[in-house]
Amino acid sequence: MEQETPNNSIDILKELQFQPIKKAVRQSIAVVDKSRKGERDILLTKWPRLNRNLLGGLQPGKLYVVAGRPGSGKSAFSNQLIFDVLDMAHIDKRKVVVFYWSFEMPGYQQILRSASKDTGKQMSDLYSVDRTLDESSFKLFMQSVHQFVKYPVYFQNHPRPVKFIEQSCQKFATSSPDTLVINLIDHSRLVPDDKAAIELERLNNLSKACMRMQSSIGGNEPKVVNILLSQLNRNIEKDDRAKNQYQPLLTDLFGGDSIGQDAHVVAMIQRPFDLYGITASYCGEDPKSLMAVHIEKNRDGMLGMIPYDFDGARFTITERKKK
């Protein structure tokens, strides 16, 4: 039986901007109806197991944190992710642009990594370290990198403060309201903030800025996806963690109290064999060439580890099939 709220109280609740439960019920029905009709606003990746954990793919209005120790493969993972997402968006005729805030390395190095994957050449080959790259391989390389010209990816190689990132997204959204923006910020500790005296305060300001962009740009239909690359602290490398096979926890996230709480999804990358020489089965997987992506926080989807094969020499990441 429906319980009624006194009329004089309804006006007060509206003034305080409370939402009646019947509105939430209608919204839940609309979401499920859109889902069954294939009308949800999601961005597919080319990794089926990741899509499943994320309930379909990347979703506008959300913050995705990709974390790991230095050298774990954060940039390689995110590089392949965004180009795959852009390929899938093109098939679906979606308008998407990527703002790549590449503060750790210039844009051309990101392209070199992707070209290494596509050509099968190691970075030492491309840099002619052991022997000069032959003409035919050079032509293959040029063909490979020219294909990236078609992608709507724009690099910002100079460290920019949080306010600049926000203003850039807002200005672009105003000029192109039908285009979704993916912010890829590499990485969190390199974003300058003159108003913050300590690093944890800077990380908190960055996290809050991501939340503002996700909610304010696009209104009822968010037009921003934020992917934030972050580091893990040194706790994961302590001797007493060996018995747990160095599996990362949310408490290992640098600045976890701010970034971890605001994020919708936190994915932590671990390479047990390459980084720590673990040879025993890791979460039921062969540790050789394993890139273990631990989904440690997921507000809507599933938690768990997704296994990938990682070829560090060629920056190639392949999702392992489910056993």
Whole-number pLDDT of residue 256: 59
CB atoms < 10 A from the CB of 252, how many?
24
Question: What percentage of residues in the chain have a pLDDT greater than 70?
Answer: 92
3-class DSSP assignment, residue 195: coil
The first and second tokens of residue 19, run together, are 């939402």
Whole-number pLDDT of residue 290: 96
Q: How much helix, strand and coil, in percent to the nearest 5, is found in the chain? A: 45, 20, 35
> How does pLDDT run across 80-103, given as a tens digit for each residue?
999 999 999 999 899 999 999 887
Whole-number pLDDT of residue 246: 81
Give residue 295's pLDDT band: very low, low, confident or very high (50, 70, 90).
very high
- The answer to whether residues 100 and 184 touch, using CB atoms and an 8 Å cutoff, is yes
Whole-number pLDDT of residue 285: 94
Determine the CATH number of domain 44-319. Answer: 3.40.50.300
- Cα distance between residue 307 and residue 291, in whole Å: 6
Whole-number pLDDT of residue 315: 79
3-class DSSP assignment, residue 64: strand
Mean pLDDT of 248-265: 81
CB atoms < 10 A from the CB of 57, how many?
18
> How does pLDDT run across 24-70, given as a tens digit for each residue?
899 889 888 987 887 788 899 999 999 999 999 999 989 999 999 88
Domain ranges of the chain: 44-319
The contacts found for 316-321 with CB under 8 angstroms, 24 or more apart, are 316/117, 317/73, 317/76, 317/77, 317/80, 317/291, 319/47, 319/48, 319/49, 319/50, 320/285
Lowest mean pLDDT of 17-26, 54-63, 116-125, 193-202, name the range. Answer: 193-202
Distances (CA, A) of 203 to 161, 196, 226: 11, 9, 14
Q: Is residue 160 scored above 80 in pLDDT?
A: yes
Question: What percentage of residues in the chain have a pLDDT greater than 90?
Answer: 35
- Cα distance between residue 78 and residue 104, in whole Å: 13
Whole-number pLDDT of residue 37: 84
Whole-number pLDDT of residue 215: 77
Please state the pTM of the whole predicted model. Answer: 0.85
Whole-number pLDDT of residue 48: 94
Q: Is residue 1 scored above 60 in pLDDT?
A: no
